[in-house]
Structure 1
Amino acid sequence: MLIAIDGPAASGKGTLARRLAAHYGLCHLDTGLTFRAVGAALLAAHRALDDEAAAVAVAEQLDLASLDRERLNRHGIGEAASRVAVMPDLRSALVSRQRAFAHTGAGAVLDGRDIGTVVLPDAAAKLFVTADPATRARRRAAEIRSRGGTARDADILADLSRRDRRDAERAVAPLKPAPDAYLLDTTGMDIETAFRSAVDIVDQARDERA
């Protein structure tokens, strides 16, 4: 059973993916963390973020089951991840690793920006999770503050806008919903309402394929 969840940053897709994985008893992979791990490694090694050979070498050694979400979700690493994500050879290396992860065992829930279109086009259920930019900025700023950081909604909004533009306009695997994806707009939804809506969508998709 494969569930693909895509959407822009701070749309709620990661929280939904984790909840769905627990609900259906499946493994979960936040594919954004794989790009963040590569970006973080390049920063730590003082390598340029456009050094594709170094990025691919890092990707080939990643343990996808042991990514440190707390560390990799720091705000500065997100910008590095967005920059390395435009490199075709790196994307190819990580997509191969992500597919292998998903097809191990009973299935998996993967979330990212190109899961339904590129990584798992054969997924049983595909969701494209979104929310209006102001809502997403408020969520991300609140998340940063909850970890003891400081953040201004306006700065976060500007950063998200840059990342959205880069993700949507990149030549390889741009951010966009798959033709058969269900759109879930979480603007105005609390997490429980969004989760129940996502479960209904997944169950409907499974029934249609049965």
Structure 2
Amino acid sequence: MRKITIAIDGYSSTGKSTVAKQLADYLSYVYVDTGAMYRSITLYALNEGIIKGDELNKEALIAALPKIEVAFSYDSDSGTSQVLLNGERVGSAIRTLEVSEHVSPVAAIPEVRKKLVAIQHQMGKEGGIVMDGRDIGTVVFPNAELKIFMTADAAERAKRRYLELKNRGDDITYDEVYENVTERDRIDTTRADSPLVKAADAIEIDNTETNLEDQFHTILQLAKDRIAGRI
């Protein structure tokens, strides 16, 4: 059976990573969370004082890029892929609201995108991969056999993210999360380098009112059809 490349793009908090992990697990494909890669660089910038308050020192971050290593390792105990920042697992640390508030400006820096896109190309050159992000179907894998573009109402996405953070124990308000979601949308869709856009041949999935199980089966059927060459 041939192996294809599956590119899943879309807005923040649309469940891209969840469905990408499900697909990769079902198909025995490699899963790459590109958002985690940008979050890892953002975490590095925060830890090193390259981001202070609302100020991002772009020149300092660009100069530090050769010292930043982002990779993934498979954890057999949990059966999941773990993101590593300079050799250390940072899966929980990169999911804070603080990182979320700063990741879009970091991801808009062309030098950051160039570094990570090169890593992503290397990861996916053999096919058999599911990758999610903002520019996978348009920039990273423009020839992917299956492209999905995920969207949902901003208020619903903020609600999902708010509940996720509250359940984890974070001290935040819904209004803070909604502001973060809408601001990330603005930055992601208007940045000069690789803005978030739907690829011409991508299939749009609006999951505002769709449960995770139905969404998974819809996208899985699309993947099966592409693998079999039916569409």
TM beyond 0.5: yes
CA contact (8 A) 2:17 2:132 kept: yes
- The structure with the largest alpha-carbon Rg is 2
Partner secondary structure for residue 132 of structure 2: strand
Alpha-carbon deviations, 1:6-55, whole Å to 9, x = none? 01110111101110110110111110111110010111111243234235
Alpha-carbon deviations, 1:38-93, whole Å to 9, x = none? 0101111112432342352244x222334133221111112221111111111111
Match of 1:71 in 2: 93
Match of 1:127 in 2: 148
User: What amino acid sits opposite 1:177 in the alignment?
Assistant: K
User: What amino acid sits opposite 1:91 in the alignment?
Assistant: R
**Residue 107 of structure 1: CA displacement?**
2.0
**Corresponding pairs, count:** 208
Are residues 1:54 and 2:76 paired? Answer: no
Aligned counterpart in structure 2 of residue 89 of structure 1, from 94, 97, 111: 111
In 2, distance between residues paired with 1:205 and 1:183? 16
Partner secondary structure for residue 29 of structure 1: strand
Match of 2:130 in 1: 109
Report the RMSD for the aligned CA atoms in angstroms: 1.7
Matches within 5 A, 1:129-144: 129-144=150-165
Q: TM-score, structure 2 length as denominator?
A: 0.84
Are residues 1:27 and 2:30 paired? Answer: yes
Matches within 5 A, 1:159-178: 159-178=180-199
User: What amino acid sits opposite 1:137 in the alignment?
Assistant: A
In 1, distance between residues paired with 2:18 and 2:109? 27
In 1, distance between residues paired with 2:200 and 2:191? 19
| Larger strand share, 1 or 2 | 2
CA contact (8 A) 1:52 1:87 kept: no
Unaligned runs of 5+ residues in structure 1 are none
User: What amino acid sits opposite 1:71 in the alignment?
Assistant: A
Partner secondary structure for residue 137 of structure 1: helix
In 2, distance between residues paired with 1:99 and 1:57? 18
CA contact (8 A) 1:130 1:185 kept: yes
In 2, distance between residues paired with 1:7 and 1:194? 14
CA gap 1:58/1:4 in 2 versus in 1, 3 angstroms: farther
CA gap 1:58/1:164 in 2 versus in 1, 3 angstroms: farther
Are residues 1:205 and 2:222 paired? Answer: no
Unaligned runs of 5+ residues in structure 2 are 74-81, 84-89
Match of 1:153 in 2: 174
Q: TM-score, structure 1 length as denominator?
A: 0.92
| Larger helix share, 1 or 2 | 1
CA contact (8 A) 1:52 1:89 kept: no
